[in-house]
Structure 1
């Protein structure tokens, strides 16, 4: 499911605290296959998450989400998470997810805006987050055009391939 940067995306919220590390997000060292890992992602901090997460849900976290090693964040999106909104992210996790085209949003104050089970609206074009139940809002920082281009392409590799194909086609004219 691709994130719609041109529209409004809303989903059920799963809240997590500060410093959720990649061992919790992607516990590959305990399970032999990707299918097994998906059944256990985030289980260490919320055993209900892997059992109840649905396509289009949103993950909200505190500070330093994704700290630890450089494991991929794609497992969250593989289980249905449409986007992650956090107070802050580990720099390496943030960079890896943007490179993969996985939507992350930094939003100071998000932990006070929603709780698990709420519906959060991400209105990217207008730069705001809205708790649909309470009507409370927070500003949402948008990305510079270069980063938006990475997201629109589906990741840095897809962007590079597209540019290569365009340059190659232009050179053959």
Structure 2
């Protein structure tokens, strides 16, 4: 996508697990936490924390978007149907889950290339469960590495500032 430096998160779109378009522009006016996820990762239990965060903050406007990725250790080998079933059965996930994409390298989804352009090399996902906090206007406000729990004080404070 040309002109990534000028783009906002609202200029990007994913596909849902059933293949429907999911433009981030539809989330304008709400803060959004985009998380690259995987089902067979040591951080996979973060799905439960993300779900609790969703339940706590969705009524106040927070959106959470899970974006599966198989780039790190092949830890998301499943099909979209398998990913959806896994998330629902094991963690009761009700926040939107997207179809699997690449988060790194030449085939990386433009959203992940954009976060690196906006916040620099350290924002590049280095493992599953990197979290990217977008403000109501589509600006990347912060990012959190995999080891940062979604319901940590640091993440919750950042969300609170945007609500």
- Provide the TM-score with structure 2 as the length reference: 0.28
Q: Which has the higher contact order (CA 8 A, sep 6+)?
A: 2
- Provide the TM-score with structure 1 as the length reference: 0.27
